[in-house]
Structure 1
Amino acid sequence: MKSIFKAIAVAALGLAVFTAQGFAADTIKIGSAGVISGDLAPYGISALRGVEIAVDDINAAGGVLGKKLEVMPGDDVCKPEIAVNMATKLVSDGAQMIVGHICSGCTIAANKIYKDANIVVVSPSSTADPLTLSGDHPNFFRTIAYDGAQAKLMSSFVKNELKAKTVALVHDKGDYGKGQMELVQKEFEAMGGVEIVLFEGVTTGAVDFSAIVQKIKRSKAEVTLWGGYHSDASKIVQLLKKKR
């Protein structure tokens, strides 16, 4: 994994360094953009640590085109409006490549800033289909399967391995969670044989998820699929266990 990341970083930086700003700089600045505080911090912190390890390795081997790499961390709290402000600051501060963002909604919102600045973006976790399939983000790359591929795998597993006939699709209303469940819904409708008995969104970060748990129970779904992050999923799962 480390060697793959290093190869992508070197290739991307090879493009970024030839911008007017990058060519003149003594160091190449990499923005590590993601969520490093709050419930979703584990995602962003692990990505930041990966960037730091890769940068240390690359610098120890002589850098890129004779230049040392410098990491510029940023916290978007997984909120698109904050991501846009952070992207503007990273560009203003001289970032020449971005690793991130973590949340798809943040990546979509911030990438207009990066695209206009001719900055390459590589995300380890933004899976929303439009980022690589729409043609609107030519500067964007990722090291994770897009939602459409995951949707095919999930729906196939539910039908062919679990042999389920009914399924509930629950999501967090975000670009990632809702978008993923909409793709799963299309897969089930196309393959047939599995009835979607519930398609429902919840408010992320809510204190009480008892309402959606009651709906899942009433739907009598054999399988529930979740589109969203672990911080909400863990609360829903705990309630489902209590109400068995």
Structure 2
Amino acid sequence: MRTKLHLIVLCLVMAAMLAACSAEEKKADEKADVQTGEVAPAAKLVLGVAGAHSGDLASYGLPSVNAAKLVAAKVNAAGGVNGMTVEVVAQDDQCKPELATNAATKMVSDGVKIVLGHICSGATKAALPIYLESKIVLMSPSATNPPLTQSGEYPNFFRTIAPDDAQAALEVAFAKGLGLTKLAVIHDKGDYGKGFATFCKEFIEAEEGMEVVLFEGVTPGAVDYSAVVQKIKSSGAQGVIFGGYHPEASKIVSGMRKKEITIPFLSDDGVKDDTFIKVAGEYAEGVYATGPMDFSTNPVYQEAVAAHKAEFGTDPGPFFPEAYSAALALLKAVENAGSTDYDKVTEALRTQYVDTAVGSVKFDAKGDAEGVGFAVYQVQSGKYVEIK
């Protein structure tokens, strides 16, 4: 019995000694960390970025990735968000709905809580239910289809660009100002392009003395659009309004000009891109396109553009200021909310202003940024110039 008692006591003493050694080792490690400057890995806040990062529409999506990286670097340099380091993780959807759902599913599986994107309205619409089910906040710099906010179906969706009904109203008013009374309205059959064209058609028909002489859809990716060009010529249209993106617009306007159809060609922010000018070449000259207002006098915009030039060596592409603003707004909302809690973040977005590249903004009950809008631009000497 005495031997067993001695063994028990000995075991207890050894356990105490091991515990003391462990504590001393921990203190020594902590001291070493202080001496060497090493720190424990910081908690991370992942900012997802979804959009067209490859394919024909990559010129619209890649500026958002750059914008997110620049905002993350700026925020991290200032200490991060609520003690968390911001990390940017991108998912490519090529503006295709089926790939957009894959991107959204990957965001969910990775536990992402805030997402900048998607770029195209059709892709955004396809992905939104996945984000909504998982209570993930999504903010697009360019998805302008009105029902995305106006339907009330997606309370998790916000955007830093005005919707297409506002863009279409400006487009039709400008066409009227040019004296155009008979218009051919062409679209690419997509959520964005057809939606924009439909609004234009409605606004034209509501104007006394104006009419739609042709309303026609084309198939994206087709090699030749000579059939629709011939329909435009036969319609007696005094001008064309196109809803869609630059690959189709460049082919249609080139076909028109080659057939000596010189009537004005007006389009949307899906065409207000330097890629359109590069592809259409000389035939791009004189083309009108609506797009986000000029923010060049905004100090945050100026800072963002300077940062882009310093980091990437180029001017930023389309929707860059809207993407930069979306990244700022999302991260500021998390900071104001004190967490990534869905209800708190959405409440912060709707109630607290944040200074961005598109102005000091907050979002209305539907998710649209207050105070943003569109302007009209024209290709002059190979560059888009705002029409005052």
Q: Could you say which TM-score interval applies, normalised by the shorter chain? A: 0.7 to 0.9
Larger radius of gyration between Structure 1 and Structure 2: 2
Deviation, 1:46, is: 1.0
The question of 1:195 aligning with 2:215 is answered no
Partner SS, residue 213 of structure 1 = helix
Q: Deviations over 1:52-93 (max 9, x none)?
A: 111111111111111011111111111111111110011101
The question of 1:90 aligning with 2:107 is answered yes
Deviation, 1:181, is: 0.6
Matches within 5 A, 1:61-76: 61-76=78-93
Partner SS, residue 176 of structure 1 = helix
Partner SS, residue 155 of structure 2 = coil
Quick check: 2:43–2:83 contact (8 Å CA) kept in 1?
no
The question of 1:103 aligning with 2:114 is answered no
Over 3 Å off, 4+ runs: none
Deviation, 1:142, is: 0.5
Partner SS, residue 226 of structure 1 = strand
- Give the letter aligned to residue 123 of structure 2: C
The question of 1:205 aligning with 2:203 is answered no
| 1:240 aligned residue (238, 246, 256) | 256
The question of 1:117 aligning with 2:134 is answered yes
The question of 1:152 aligning with 2:135 is answered no
Quick check: 1:76–1:86 contact (8 Å CA) kept in 2?
yes
- Give the letter aligned to residue 214 of structure 2: L
| 1:78 aligned residue (95, 101, 105) | 95
| Structure 1 residues without counterparts, runs of 5 or longer | 1-24
The question of 1:127 aligning with 2:144 is answered yes
Partner SS, residue 66 of structure 1 = coil
| 1:163 aligned residue (170, 179, 182) | 179
Name 1:7's counterpart in structure 2. none
- Give the letter aligned to residue 226 of structure 1: F
| Structure 2 residues without counterparts, runs of 5 or longer | 1-41, 261-388
Quick check: 2:142–2:160 contact (8 Å CA) kept in 1?
yes
- Give the letter aligned to residue 32 of structure 1: V
Name 1:27's counterpart in structure 2. 44
- Give the letter aligned to residue 134 of structure 2: A
**What is the TM-score when the length of structure 2 is the normalising length?**
0.55
Quick check: 1:72–1:95 contact (8 Å CA) kept in 2?
no
Distance 1:192 1:185 in 2: 13
Name 2:245's counterpart in structure 1. 229
Name 2:198's counterpart in structure 1. 182
Deviation, 1:192, is: 2.4
Distance 1:239 1:45 in 2: 29
The question of 1:44 aligning with 2:93 is answered no
Distance 2:47 2:132 in 1: 15
Deviation, 1:237, is: 1.0
Deviation, 1:96, is: 1.5
**What is the TM-score when the length of structure 1 is the normalising length?**
0.88
- Give the letter aligned to residue 134 of structure 1: S
What is the number of equivalent residue pairs in this alignment?
A: 219
Q: Deviations over 1:110-144 (max 9, x none)?
A: 01111111111110000000111111110111011
- Give the letter aligned to residue 48 of structure 1: V
Partner SS, residue 112 of structure 1 = helix
Quick check: 1:128–1:180 contact (8 Å CA) kept in 2?
yes
Quick check: 1:91–1:114 contact (8 Å CA) kept in 2?
yes
Distance 1:100 1:152 in 2: 25
